[in-house]
Amino acid sequence: MQLFPAIDIRGGNAVRLFKGDFDREKIYSRAPAEVARAFKEAGAECLHIVDLDGAREGAPVNSDVIKQIISEGGFFAEVGGGVRSLTRIEQYLNAGAGRVILGSAAVENFTLVTDAVKFFGDGVAVGVDAVGGKVAVEGWKKITDTDAFEFCRKLKESGVRTIIFTDISRDGTLTGANLAAYERLVSECPGVNVVASGGITHISELIKLKHMGAGGAILGKAIYDGAIDLSQAVRAVRDAG
């Protein structure tokens, strides 16, 4: 299972939000590339990078900062936030991203998903952000009537190989992951690389996610606030049977 320490970027800074609320933001660094270097020194081999401004605006805003982080090298980076066209996907992949994440665009324009899978294959992932079992879009500002698990099954059928599933109610809260949701997703979407996001607070949760068959886990506030030591988490997940 891959560990993805998260770098969420707003206004060029590395920040964390509480339940996706832009009014409840904490700035952790004004130099996101330095954060990436620290994660790499702790043993991380992957990064999850999100342009928060881009997610709200529907177009990349912090792409230069993201490309600077990617240029650090030495890790597999997945990138999302405001990606709404094949051109944007190609630009990030050409910049060195290992995978580009479609979010709101996947819900609002499903043809983009099928086209992206056709042209970029495993270079594309879809982020499914859920609250109360429904998919949220537009930087989590709008809750749709789309059932999150049904949408994930639709993504699988369309050929999407990686789904990043976020429980918004847990994100940034340090209250623990919704393990039941990820277990259900792994069961209902066999063959899909399920990446868990939202609320992960303890290394024991990472071990449980690995054992249930999750392909990855995103760590955010827990590592920024010290609830999880990233280097210990990397070793624990690597050594877990």
CATH number of the domain that residue 188 is part of: 3.20.20.70
- pLDDT of 239 > 70? The answer is yes
Q: What is the pLDDT of residue 85?
A: 96
Q: What is the pLDDT of residue 172?
A: 77
Q: What is the pLDDT of residue 137?
A: 85
Q: What is the pLDDT of residue 139?
A: 62
pLDDT digits (tens, 9 = 90+) for 151-194: 999 999 999 999 999 998 887 778 899 999 999 999 999 999 99
- How sure is the predictor about 224, in pLDDT bands with cuts at 50, 70 and 90? very high
Model pTM? Answer: 0.94
Q: Which two tokens stand for residue 153?
A: 């099954």
Range of the domain at 118: 2-239
User: What Cα–Cα distance (Å) separates residue 173 from each residue in 8, 60, 161?
Assistant: 15, 26, 28
Asked if residue 8 lies in contact with residue 22, where contact means CB atoms within 8 angstroms, the answer is no
Q: What is the pLDDT of residue 23?
A: 80
Instruction: Centre a 10 Å sphere on the Cβ of residue 191 and count the other Cβ atoms it contains.
Output: 6
Percentage of the chain lying above the pLDDT 70 cut: 98
- pLDDT of 140 > 70? The answer is no
Residues recognised as catalytic: 8, 129
Q: What is the pLDDT of residue 138?
A: 74
- How sure is the predictor about 17, in pLDDT bands with cuts at 50, 70 and 90? confident
What is the secondary structure of the chain as a DSSP string?
-EEEEEEEEETTEEEEEETTEEEEEEEEES-HHHHHHHHHHTT--EEEEEEHHHHHHTS-SSHHHHHHHHTT-SSEEEEESS--SHHHHHHHHHTT-SEEEE-HHHHH-HHHHHHHHHHHGGGEEEEEEEETTEEEETTTTEEEEEEHHHHHHHHHHHT--EEEEEETTTTTT-S---HHHHHHHHHHSTTSEEEEES----HHHHHHHHHHT-SEEEE-HHHHTTSS-HHHHHHHHHH--
Mean pLDDT score of the chain: 94
- How sure is the predictor about 25, in pLDDT bands with cuts at 50, 70 and 90? confident
- How sure is the predictor about 56, in pLDDT bands with cuts at 50, 70 and 90? confident
Q: What is the pLDDT of residue 218?
A: 97
- pLDDT of 207 > 90? The answer is yes
Q: Domains in the chain: how many in total?
A: 1
Percentage of the chain lying above the pLDDT 90 cut: 83
Asked if residue 139 lies in contact with residue 55, where contact means CB atoms within 8 angstroms, the answer is yes
Distance CA 38, CA 48 (A): 14
Q: Which residue has the tokens 């770098």?
A: 7
Q: What is the pLDDT of residue 189?
A: 97
- pLDDT of 28 > 70? The answer is yes
Q: Which two tokens stand for residue 172?
A: 């940034």
Beta bridge partner(s), residue 50? 8, 80
Burial 111-140 (b: 16+ CB within 10 A, else e): ebbeebbeeeeebbbbbbbbbeeebbbbbb
Q: Which two tokens stand for residue 158?
A: 């369309």
Q: Over the Cα atoms of the chain, what is R_g?
A: 16
